[in-house]
Every structure is written in structure tokens, then in C-alpha cells.
Chain A
Amino acid sequence: MKKIIFILQIFLILICFTGCYDARGIEELAYVVAIGLDTSGENQIELSLQFATASKSSSSSESSGSSSQSKETNITTIKCNTINSGIALINSHISKKINLSHCKVLVISEELAKKGISRYIDTLCNNIEIKADCSVIVSKCDAKEYLENVKPALENLTARYYESTINSAEYTGYTVDMTLAEFYSKTKDSYCEPYAILGSITKEENSSSPEINAKYFAGDNPIDDKDIIDNLGIAVFKDDKFIGELTGLDSLCHVIITNELDECTLTVPKQNEKEKYFDLLLTPEKCTKCSVSFENDIPHININVSLRGKGLSINENSKYSTECSIDEINTYASKYLKDAIMAYLNKTSKEYGSDICGFGKYAVKNYLTIDDWYSSNWLENYQNADFSVNVSITVESGAAFMEQ
């Protein structure tokens, strides 16, 4: 009897462990690297899925030991009512099962974003396959067009290209890295409003005059390459609706305030010298400190920015070695950045009324219960806020050579 039970138990374990009977191999899956969402008539969307395709010269890639995925991608577009129904329809059309686990970006067209996107974000967040670090981009052009113009120049893999273009925010500050999880969290939070990466395609004939510190919106960048994607600035949301754009310089101010800055290059116009500039490499010296106080229900927001600068421009007129000249650069650069931050804050507050910096989290400690906090209606009250900004830049010296 014991033996029979033992054999039965072994069979039971065998049945339970054969989890591979319904497993799907890599050759049976179609990996999506990007999702695009556009509007299409009333309550309809156009879902574009960009798939990673295997390299045609698989033998050469095998010999070199690199991945067999190529920079070539395949985009499939479908009109549908919901994302999941669209995926199901594409699944019935293509030979492989769609897998979202390698999806790097979600591109939403400006037109759709203006209508509100929380239902799409909620749906995607509820999907177990999609990773939380998938970036959210609002495209000024159609999402499909954006995906079609992804041309990885220095990368072999499209997915890697998406990663590296978005990671550039870490060392330029000209855009932000907004993940799906963070965006979802911000749409639900009562302390702040969501925002996303602003993307576009570089225009064929760009008449923009050169501006310092990327004072452009996405697509206006006067870069020589035509018809390639350009992620620059921030897409501002109110609730789940896209309401406005911010430039690269605004984005720089944003990352400084939100302590997301690693390093950036700031170009400052020279005092009393027209069209002459000096460049500083800025890194945070201390975390930016923010506080919110109330006076007659009007929020007063204090921001203390402390940065360390390193002179990058060096010529006969740049002086980084004398105390007097350093003080002058410190004062002037601080004033320039303070003005830029004030302009950015006024734009978010007075123009858009959207607290994308999340100052609400500093205001919430003034309330004892959630009901009190909700009744204060912070997100609406933000447009009445006044700001006090203090910027301190400590310029150290030139990088490699000292001035003569």
C-alpha cells in the first residue's frame, strides 16, 4: 500500500512539475519594443506595435557573438476600441504571440493625450508583462509616424536605442525620464500632476534660430538630421490630459528642482557682451530644498538650489582663477538660472496650473487628515502660489587648462 501511495505521489509531482507543456519559446513570441497610440474617430484608437525583428544575417551575428536582433523593426497598426482588443486582433493576424515584456516606450500622440489617457495607462499598468520602467512619450506628431522615424544611428538594437536616447536626460537635463509606473502613480496622487517626455520628429526645414540651453520644443531643434525622432522638453498634464509643452531649458530647471539632475551644461550669456557666452558644467552641491507655507490659503513656495559649477569655456576673457572673477561668474550664473527657474515655475503655475514638480508633497504636512488635505484642493490652488527662489552656484575652476 505504501509503495502504491509513494508511486502515486511521484506521479502527482510529475504532473504538477510539467509546467513546460504550455510554455512558449522565444521563437514563438513577437517581442514589442514600442507601443504607439493615436486617435481614430470617436472613442477609437489606432494602436501601433513596433516589433523587434531578428537579423537577416543570423549567421554573421552568431559568429560575432552578438544579439540576433537587428535595428530593423516591423510596425503593425490597427484601429480598435481598447488596447487589449487591438493586441488580440494583431495576435490573430501575425504568426507569433505578442509579448510586451521588452516594451521600452509608450508613445502617445498629442491629439490623444489632450483627450485624456488614464484609461490606457491603467490598462497597461494592469498588464503583468509590461515592465514598470517603460518610458512614456507624448509625440507632437502621430505616434505611428514617430515610431516609423526611429532610426538608430549609433546602436544596433532598436530597444537599446530607445534606452540610450531617454537616458541622455541624465547628462543633459533637456528632457526627463518618465516611466509608466511613475506616470500612473502621479495620475492617482493628490500631491502632483503627471508629465511625460515630449517627443517629435525633426522638421525638414527648420528655421529656428540657435538658442542657448535648448530653449526649444521637441522638433524645433535645428539639428542637421532630418526626419529623426527628437525627445526634448516636457509634456505637461493636468489630471490625465495633456495641456502644454515645456522647452529643454524648462526641463533643466525641472530636474534641478526635483533633484533628478546628475550633471548638465549650462550656457550663460556674458554680462554686457551681446551674443557671447560661457559654459558651465553643473552638478548638484546639495539637494534642492523646498518648503511650502500658507498665508490666507495662498501657498508660498520656497526653493533653495545649490549647485557646483565647473567652467568649460576657456579663452582670454574667461577668468576662473581670481576670487573677484569667480564671484562675478557665480553671481551672474546664479541670477541667470534663478530667472530661468522663475519663468519655468510661473509657466507651470500661472499658465498651466499644473504642479508637475510635486510641491504638494511639501504642503501636505500642514494637514492632519486626508479629508482636510482634499478639501484644501491643492492641485487647483497651485495656480495661486507665489515663489521664492534662491540659487547658489559655486564655480570651482576650469576643467583641464587654466586661463592664460
Chain B
Amino acid sequence: MNISKIETAQAIALLSIVMANKIILNLPRSIISSTGSSAWLNVIYIVFLSFLFVFLVIKLLKKFPKMDILDISEYLGGKYLKAAVGIIFIVIFALTIGTVLCGYSETLKSIYFNQSPILYILLFLIGSACIANKFGIKAIAKVTTIITPIVFFSILIVLLTPIKSFVIQRFFPLLGYGFNETFLAGISNIFALSGLSYILLIPSLLKESESYKKVAIISLCISGFYLILSVCCTLLVFPFVLSPNENLSLYLLTKVSNYGELIHGVNTIFILLWIISVIAYISIGLFFMLYITQKISTIKSTILLNYCYSLILLVLSYVWKDYIQLNNFSEHTLKYMILAFVFVFNPFILILANIKKRFTRSQTTIASERNT
């Protein structure tokens, strides 16, 4: 596989588009249904916690320049830990992409392609990602850098156009379903920013390793801003008691938006942009799956592996009996798997690696002092 280094802006675009797909999908709606009218407080809170997480990761990675979580795992526990961490990453990425693909293609089918078999939609999305990965991360990053501003601009338009329908009082009652649901149980909504897992893998791909801090913070700022905005706008337009079955909260916003007498059917443009955004997301996810596999094994070429992983993704997105089964898996299993792995297990590895580094350094210093 063609693994070249990427620029700072490209890295920011990659991370932002991964997290933007969570916003395009049903995350604002699921946050609102779990917290009620306090969703806006909850989302500000989880973005704040995400900043703490990112600052912690940046600090812990300071002593390991140009090293990602896999390299650090190898440093800490040898190749077995590296392989274990890598495999968990691959499993999580595959499951996440599978569920995202299934949900998104179901929505696309119900909106525009009623007659088409879902397999066609899945093949189109996965096939595009598979082809993109033949050209490597450089090509994916360049395309993503072009589409990211357009996608974010489209989201901004969708969010702000129904401003006439905003009811500010929907921010009240301030604590929604209660303090616990907002601030304690509500912590699990940090899942919305689970795309942060990619920041643990990006350091080794950066052309300028010193810009890692900038990449992590800017991409979180963009994603955090959009997450807050999307939750607030969805909350202000729809009563919090509504839990639509449709996957796209933003699509519902486009339906209530009015662009004047002359412009109709703008939602089709947004859907097209979001399809491109989802393809970019799958391409990035697939790339990282291949990249991790290559790192934890001795595989030189990932061409065939690319097809294998694409097939696995197709199976994972096609295997669900219905949307309820998919939703139950995402909400009750995958969510907590990701939370435990990304926000607990990985920082734990980083902390242990830092302790080991300090311990090794102090031992080296003592040894050198003895020698002198």
C-alpha cells in the first residue's frame, strides 16, 4: 500500500470528516432522546471532556514523537500488545463502518431508492472506498481536503436555514431528564466524538510531527462546534419527545427549511454532498484498517487485503436483520466497546508507556552516572 505522509491541513480534514459523519447521522437525535431539553448542556459538557481527553493524549504523546498508539503499545508490551491493540482497532473500525453504512444506506433507500436493493447502494459506497484505497492515503487526503469545507458549509446552511422555526424556550427545562442524565449518565454521549480514536493513529502519518497538537485541537474544535450547533438546532426545531425513526436528523431539518419561492428540492444537493462525505469516511476507515494490518503484520502489499476488508465491510453492513437490531447493537454494545477502548484503554496504555519511559530514563541516568 502506498503510505505517504500527509500535510497538516489534510490531517485536519481527515479527522473532521470522520467526526462530521456522526453529525450527519443520527447522533444529535440520540443525544436529545437520552437527555431531553438539556441536550445542549450535555453536548457542551462532552465537548469539554473531549478537549480534556485530547490535551491528555497530546501530553502523553509528547515523549513519543512520530509514534502512534501501535508503536507505543509495542514499546510497552512488545509485539503481542501491539497486535492486540491493532486487532481491537480493526474490529472497532469495521463494526463502526458496518453500522454507519447500514444505517446510511437504509436512509438513502427510504428517501430516494425505494425500488433498489440495498445491496446496490452498499456496493456503490464500499466499491468507491475500495477503489479510493488503491490510490493510497495521499489521494484520499487530497479529495477529503476539497470536500470537507463543502460538506461543512452545507451542514451550516442546513442547520441555520430553519432559524424561523427555532423556539428558544425548547432549551428549557434546563436540566432536562435530570442532573444524572445530563452530567453523569450523559458522559456516555462522548461516543459522539469517538472519531477521536483516529488521532491516536495519525502521528506517524504526519509530514510535520510537531503539528500534531495543532491537528488534534483544530479538528476537535471544528467537530465540537458542529456537534454543539447540530444538537442545538435539532433541539430548537423539534420537540425533544419526538424520536423519529429516520437516521438523518439533518435530513429532517432540510425538510422543514424554506429556501424561497424559486429554490425547491435543495435537500437533494445536501444528500449528494453527504454521500460523498460518507464515501470519504469509509475510505479513511478502510485505509486505517489496512494501515494497522500492515503495521502489526509482515504483509507488504495490501491490494488483496483491500478487497477482503471491503467484503467484510459489505457483510457487516448487510448482516443486520432490521434497523432495530442495528440500533440495539450500536447503542448497547458498540457504544460501550468504543468508549472503553478509546477513552479508557488507550489513555491507560499511554500512561503506562510514559511511566515506563520515565523509569527507563531514570535507570539509564543512574547507569550513566555509575559509569562516570
Contact = CB atoms under 8 A, between A and B. Distances in A.
Contact of A370 (B177, B238, B255): B177
A221 to B, nearest CB: 28
A188 B127 contact: no
Given A185-B238, A188-B239, A368-B175, A12 B169 contact: no
Interface stretch (A205-213, A265-273, A357-365): A357-365
A9 interface: yes
B202 to A, nearest CB: 29
A268 B176 CA distance: 46
A380 interface: no
A358 B173 CA distance: 15
A17 B116 CA distance: 11
Given A368-B174, A369-B176, A128 B123 contact: no
The B interface, classified by DSSP as helix, strand, loop or mixed, is loop
Contacts of A98: none
B311 to A, nearest CB: 13
B37 interface: yes
Interface in A151-200: 181-182, 185, 188-191
Nearest to A367: B173
Chain A interface size range: 20 to 34
Contacts of B86: none
Interface in A349-381: 358, 361-362, 364-365, 367-373
B175 A364 contact: no
Interface in A228-244: none
A15 interface: yes
A128 B174 contact: no
Nearest to A133: B258
A132 interface: yes
Contact of B256 (A132, A364, A372): A132
B255 A131 contact: yes
B242 A369 contact: no
Contacts of B153: none
Nearest to A188: B239
Interface of B: 36-37, 110-111, 113, 115-116, 120, 123-124, 127, 131, 165, 167, 169-170, 172-178, 238-242, 245, 255-256, 258
Given A9-B127, A367-B172, 13 more contacts: A16-B123, A188-B239, A188-B242, A189-B239, A190-B241, A191-B167, A361-B169, A365-B172, A368-B174, A369-B173, A370-B37, A371-B178, A373-B173
28 contacts: A9-B131, A12-B127, A15-B120, A16-B120, A19-B116, A22-B116, A126-B245, A128-B111, A132-B255, A133-B256, A181-B256, A185-B242, A188-B241, A190-B239, A191-B167, A191-B169, A361-B167, A361-B169, A364-B169, A365-B173, A367-B173, A368-B175, A369-B173, A369-B175, A370-B176, A370-B177, A370-B240, A372-B173
